Amino acid sequence: MIPIAIVTQKKDGRPAYLYFKTDSNTIQFDIYRSGSRRSVAYVLDVYNKARELLTWAMSKSIISPNIGSLLRAFDLPEIRSDVQILDVGIPTIQSLDTTEKDAKLCEDLSNRIQNLQYSPYQLILGRAQNAYYGLEKSKLKLNYATVEPKWSLETFSGRSKSLEFNVQGWSYPDKIYQESIPYNCALLHFDWICADFRAASILSQDNNLIESFKHSDPYSYLSLCLSGDKETLRDEAKLLLLKTVNSLDHDNEYVKTAYPQMCNWLCDLLNNIRSTGKSYNIVGRQFRLSTERNEKSLLNAVLQGSVASAMQSVIWKIRQVYPNNIVCDIHDGLVLAVEKDPKRIQRIIDDVSEIFSRPFFGIIQNDPFFPFRISLGEFWKQWNVIKEVRLK
């Protein structure tokens, strides 16, 4: 049995109850209750014992309903890179009224977790939760001021969301960089080219869509089919392609002429969603129809969720090599701060390019190549493209 740690929290985020189960033992900690008359010393003693137990477990394999919430609740050190982490994506349990109810709920949940069939995305998600927690602990500098973004992966597609200080939405030409990097630094921006449609090309195996990444991009190729010139109607082609895919219009004659296999895949995907109420991204993450999520949402989740899993995998891998350089991810791109040393910049470009181009290396078979651009600049979002790496 792989150790399972389940933490319940109060609404204010404080840990309330820990349930820890291995093949030989089950341990329960009642850490904090509102209205408790226990002394502060007692609560801290139990809290420290829980942290010690969890820290021991982190040296082994572990499954958690939500690694990120567990780390935050107990302020644990980062899990080491050689640990098998599985995050089953279940939100942190809000504490119930009694210890007995909590224990029963955790018991039922632990049994369900043990019986789950694990997909690559759960390994990616667990590692990513740990990586984003590390980004929180390392903090950022905005010019000379310290800012502390909080990171959440609890979005439908899995894309990261920066809370409190919204570094992803920052738009002014200021300097944002890691606290451990000097102010006089450069910003490297790695950005996948049409990442959603690269995911679509992989899932649909559309030959024309795949070929478009070798010479230009899906929009330029569609423009070439429409006008005989890949740039003349590029904006119109981009709008048409996005509208077609986002509306599940697999019978659009223009798009079907350019990308027939993708349109067939869209048709099959729509039929599967209607029959099962589910869709899956490239690494097996499941999305379900609900009152809040319709068929279009599930298609969007397949594409955006595939890119989200790719970014989660990349950030974890890059943090193993450059733990003090990552600033954040922005949609399909990743920003790193680096000292203004040409040799250092080139070394980081070479190392990160290898990871960024194959986000699923070692995770799924036939790991696909993702084309990307590299940009360099000094101020936030004021970087210039220095290199494009295309599909060969």
pLDDT higher at 183 or 36: 183
Give the pLDDT score at 26.
83
Q: Look at residue 180 and tell me whether its pLDDT is greater than 80.
A: yes
Mean per-residue pLDDT, 27-52? 80
Q: How confident is the model at residue 46 (pLDDT cuts 50, 70, 90)?
A: confident
Give the pLDDT score at 182.
92
Residue 17 and residue 46: Cα distance in Å, rounded? 10
- Whether residue 53 contacts residue 43, with contact meaning beta carbons closer than 8 Å, is answered with no
Q: How confident is the model at residue 101 (pLDDT cuts 50, 70, 90)?
A: confident
Q: Look at residue 95 and tell me whether its pLDDT is greater than 70.
A: yes
- Of the ranges 33-47, 113-127, 178-192, which is most confident? 178-192
- Whether residue 309 contacts residue 149, with contact meaning beta carbons closer than 8 Å, is answered with no
Token pair of 182 as six digits = 């000097």
Q: How confident is the model at residue 141 (pLDDT cuts 50, 70, 90)?
A: very high
Residue 361 and residue 233: Cα distance in Å, rounded? 36
Q: What is the 3-state secondary structure (H, E, C) of 284-339?
A: CCEEECCCCCCHHHHHHHHHHHHHHHHHHHHHHHHHHHCCCCEEEEECCEEEEEEE
What number does CATH give the domain 141-194+306-389? 3.30.70.370
Q: Look at residue 37 and tell me whether its pLDDT is greater than 70.
A: no
Any idea which of 42-56, 272-286, 340-354 has the lowest mean pLDDT? Answer: 42-56
- Whether residue 88 contacts residue 126, with contact meaning beta carbons closer than 8 Å, is answered with no
Q: How confident is the model at residue 36 (pLDDT cuts 50, 70, 90)?
A: low
Mean per-residue pLDDT, 138-165? 92
Residue 25 and residue 3: Cα distance in Å, rounded? 10
Q: Look at residue 389 and tell me whether its pLDDT is greater than 80.
A: yes
Give the pLDDT score at 84.
84
**How do residues 254-267 score in pLDDT, each as one tens digit?**
999 999 999 999 99
Residue among 213, 207, 174, 69 at smallest CA distance from 130: 69
**How do residues 231-253 score in pLDDT, each as one tens digit?**
788 999 999 999 989 888 888 89
**Helix/strand number for the chain, H first, E second:** 12, 18
- What amino acid occupies position 158? G
Give the pLDDT score at 25.
81
Cβ within 8 Å of residue 242, ≥6 positions away: none
Q: Look at residue 131 and tell me whether its pLDDT is greater than 70.
A: yes
How far apart, in Å, are the Cα atoms of 280 and each of 2, 102, 114, 125, 286? 26, 32, 21, 15, 5
Give the pLDDT score at 282.
96
pLDDT higher at 66 or 188: 188
Q: Look at residue 53 and tell me whether its pLDDT is greater than 70.
A: yes
DSSP 115-163: TPPP-HHHHHHHHHHHHHHHHHHH-EEETTEEE--EEE--SSS---EEE
- Whether residue 195 contacts residue 371, with contact meaning beta carbons closer than 8 Å, is answered with no
What are the residue ranges spanned by the domains of the chain? 4-118, 141-194+306-389
Cα 49-77-306 angle, rounded to 5 deg: 125
**How do residues 291-303 score in pLDDT, each as one tens digit?**
889 999 999 999 9
Cα 158-159-163 angle, rounded to 5 deg: 115
> What b/e string do you get for 260-292 counting C-beta neighbours within 10 Å, with b at 16 or more?
bbbbebbeebbeebeeeeebbbbbebebebeee
Rounded mean pLDDT of the chain? Answer: 90
- Whether residue 76 contacts residue 27, with contact meaning beta carbons closer than 8 Å, is answered with no
**Residue 91: is it exposed, middle or buried by C-beta count within 10 angstroms (0-12/13-18/19+)?**
exposed
Q: How confident is the model at residue 33 (pLDDT cuts 50, 70, 90)?
A: low
